[in-house]
Amino acid sequence: MLKICSVFGHSEINITKELEENLTTAFKNLINEGCEIFLFGGFGMFDELCHRLISELKSTYKNIKRIYCLSDPRHLRPSKRPKWLKSEDYEDFVYLDLQFDWWYKRIYFRNCAMIDKSDVVVFYVEERKNSGAYKAYKYAKQKKKRIINLYN
């Protein structure tokens, strides 16, 4: 059965060679376990790092797909999409139906919808009260999702 993975982490992180190697190993293991779809929300250094590493792995694992989960349904139309979201960087763009329509809440509920669709969630997160990544982590724990947290 096809497995889905999403990634969440703090927007500003210290990217080390060790973190890159640990992430690459985790992604290879997930791919070998049948994970083929990787969901991205695209905010911050951790998301960018994960996207770069998955894109590099795509040359070896041709079947994996990078899916960008939009937080605004207008962005489904390429002409309305932010310029930094390039079609060649993802295999698809999707909008997950959300419960709230306010911008900040929209991001939170988009993250929850990504977690709901995921079999496993890869985090780089520490406990920070007002962190969106930490809120996503708590939500994934509440939903009893398989979690890989590479923060420590």
Q: Kindly list the domain boundaries of the chain, sorted by start residue.
A: 3-149
Q: Global pTM?
A: 0.92
- Going residue by residue through the chain, which has 152 residues, state the pLDDT in tens, using 9 for 90 and above: 679 999 999 999 999 999 999 999 999 999 999 999 999 997 789 999 999 999 999 999 999 999 999 988 889 999 999 998 999 999 999 988 766 555 557 788 889 999 999 999 999 999 888 888 999 999 999 999 999 999 97
DSSP letters for the chain: --EEEEEEE-SS----HHHHHHHHHHHHHHHHTTEEEEEE---SHHHHHHHHHHHHHHTT-TT-EEEEEESSGGGGSGGGS-TTS-GGG-SEEEE---S--SHHHHHHHHHHHHHHH-SEEEEE----TT-HHHHHHHHHHHTT-EEEE---
**CATH architecture of residue range(s) 3-149:** 3-Layer(aba) Sandwich (3.40)
